[in-house]
Amino acid sequence: MSENRTPTVHTLMSNAESKKYQASCHCQLIRYNVTLSPGLDDPDSWVVECNCSICSRNGYLNVYVQTECIEFETIGLESELVEKYRFGKQRVQHYFCSRCGSSIMAESIEPGFYEGVKALNVRMFKDVDLKTLQRREVDGRSL
């Protein structure tokens, strides 16, 4: 049922054509721009549907990017207005808006486990038709 593929990590150094996306939580308190290379409309690009409990419950559709691919327009992740949540093995920290509750992204806090990479919830991206995205299931429940 679930594929256990390592997700593609988008970088600014990729040879593929890049595309910039605007993203935000529902109330616009947290606004940011994301540069993906390749863009989500590229045939080689896909989003991850993870089967772990938090991704399933929050409906995450993730892309994985190096931290430098994200530019915050308003508050950053260090702000007190951004809530942080960890569970289970405490390997991943999830970030969500304290005002509207939107789940915006997650990152590993365990050295050597996806260091310098953030999992961005594509549902926060503006003007992206989610029905057109290629999806891959990942067995995050086993991690």
Residue-wise pLDDT for 46-87, tens only, equals 899 998 899 999 999 999 999 999 999 999 999 999 999 999
Three-class DSSP category at 140: helix
Residue spans per domain, the chain: 9-135
Written out in words, the top-level CATH class of the domain with range 9-135 is mainly beta
- The pLDDT assigned to 9 comes to 66
Contact of 139 with 2, CB cutoff 8 Å: yes
Sequence-distant (≥ 6) Cβ neighbours of residue 119 within 8 angstroms: 48, 60, 62, 63, 64, 92, 105, 106, 107
C-alpha distances out from residue 79 to 20, 35, 66, Å: 24, 22, 20
| 3 band by pLDDT with thresholds 50, 70 and 90 | very low
| 8 band by pLDDT with thresholds 50, 70 and 90 | low
C-alpha distances out from residue 35 to 6, 11, 54, 88, 114, Å: 20, 8, 25, 31, 19
Residue 77 neighbours by CB distance under 10 Å: 17
Which of 53 and 6 is assigned the larger pLDDT? 53
pTM comes to 0.87
pLDDT above 50: residue 1: no
